[in-house]
């Protein structure tokens, strides 16, 4: 399967925080096909363990997250429209005028759009449009009234997830889709598992994907407790700001060296290891100072403290229906991750942990 087809398959799956089952099923099928036996944590994270034959080998965890941002129905109005609460961070300005799918408790799929006030209805009113609160945005399934919506099985607590088609950009260098945050990570771990299938390693690897990252890094707290790694590598996508006049995160500039975010500062030993590995592997990298967090922020506080970092890429306009990301950035990140995991001997891990 070509890389674009793999990206398309993963990004068009609809799975938001707490409702990651469809992505988990996809990962499970692929993991088994690659010869691995997955196991699950108590919240639904999925992982495989590739055990080293080295005695007392260090334990290294590489984790994506499965969830994308979405919404949950909070109320059904008399006119049959819905109001919601967000699952993850949304800019209200990108929500209106979009297509979504509502999933009922029984799995029925209901097409939904978000309503925007047409300019015609503002003329002569003297009203200046304001940025809406998420709770005020109209989600409309074209039902006549609340009773009809209920007849179709819709209820409070149902989830609503963006629906888009994944396409290739005109220049063939980029892809446009939803949910690269963080189906990027999901594809990264699958590609890594394929690469490692016939290899013996000096470290035991725990490779998989967490749940509920977008709502507070919840899954990583559970999985790191369960698997007790010596080191943790999140694999996640961050926002590019290159089209907004900021050089912090540029498309096509390679994988990110995430030295800082509000919940995590990279330790010196990890920083030195990443810089040395990238230089040796001739991987294109860019320094990234983040304004949001990843599962590394939760993992590094787990157990007695777990040195952690994020192997990432950037994408434009994340947490929306249309994200743009660079194909070579993915390839650079994959090369980086392969070189990282194949060089983590007992001695190297001790060096990283010698802060």
Question: Which residues are known to be catalytic?
Answer: 213
Phi, psi of 130 (to 5 degrees): -115, 160
On the CB side of 190, how many CA atoms lie within 13 Å of its CA? 24
Tokens of 296: 């590394």
Tokens of 36: 């691995």
DSSP string, 66-128: --B-EEEEEEE-TTS-EEEEEES---GGGTTT-EEEEE-TT--EEEEEEE---GGGGTTT-PP
CA-CA distances (angstroms) from residue 49 to 158, 167, 227, 305? 34, 34, 9, 21
- C-alpha 333: how far from its chain's center? 15
Determine contact, residues 59/229, Cβ cutoff 8 Å: yes
Tokens of 329: 């950035």
Q: Which is nearest to 315 in space by CA: 262, 256, 245, 260?
A: 256
Residues annotated as binding site for Zn(2+)?
65, 181, 214, 236, 319
């Amino acid at each position: 399967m070509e890389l674009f087809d793999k990206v398309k398959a993963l990004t068009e799956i609809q799975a938001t925080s707490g409702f990651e089952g469809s992505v988990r099923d996809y990962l499970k099928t692929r993991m088994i096909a690659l010869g691995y036996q997955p196991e699950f944590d108590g919240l639904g994270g999925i992982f495989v363990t590739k055990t080293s034959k080295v005695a007392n080998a260090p334990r290294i965890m590489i984790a994506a997250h499965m969830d994308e941002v979405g919404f949950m129905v909070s109320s059904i109005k008399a006119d049959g429209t819905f109001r919601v609460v967000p699952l993850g961070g949304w800019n209200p300005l990108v929500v209106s005028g979009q297509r979504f799918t509502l999933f009922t408790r029984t799995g029925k799929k209901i097409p939904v759009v978000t309503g925007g006030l047409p300019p015609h209805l503002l003329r002569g009113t003297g009203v200046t449009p304001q940025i809406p609160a998420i709770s005020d945005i109209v989600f409309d399934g074209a039902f006549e009234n609340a009773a009809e919506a209920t007849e179709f099985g819709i209820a409070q607590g149902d989830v609503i997830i963006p629906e888009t088609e994944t396409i290739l950009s005109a220049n063939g260098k980029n892809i446009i889709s939803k949910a690269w945050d963080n189906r990027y990570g999901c594809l990264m771990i699958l590609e890594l598992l394929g690469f490692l299938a016939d290899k013996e390693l000096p470290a035991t690897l725990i490779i998989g994907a967490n749940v509920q990252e977008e709502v507070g890094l919840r899954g990583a707290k559970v999985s790191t407790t369960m698997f007790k790694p010596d080191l943790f590598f999140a694999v996640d996508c961050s926002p590019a700001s290159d089209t907004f006049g900021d050089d912090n995160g540029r498309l096509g500039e390679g994988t990110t060296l995430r030295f800082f975010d509000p919940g995590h500062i990279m330790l010196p030993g990890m920083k030195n290891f990443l810089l040395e590995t990238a230089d040796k592997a001739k991987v294109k990298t860019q320094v990234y100072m983040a304004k949001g967090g990843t599962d590394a922020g939760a993992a590094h506080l787990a157990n007695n403290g777990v040195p952690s970092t994020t192997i990432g890429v950037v994408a434009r306009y994340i947490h929306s229906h249309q994200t743009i990301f660079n194909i070579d950035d993915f390839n650079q990140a994959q090369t980086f991750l392969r070189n990282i995991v194949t060089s983590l001997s007992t001695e190297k891990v001790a060096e990283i942990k010698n802060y």
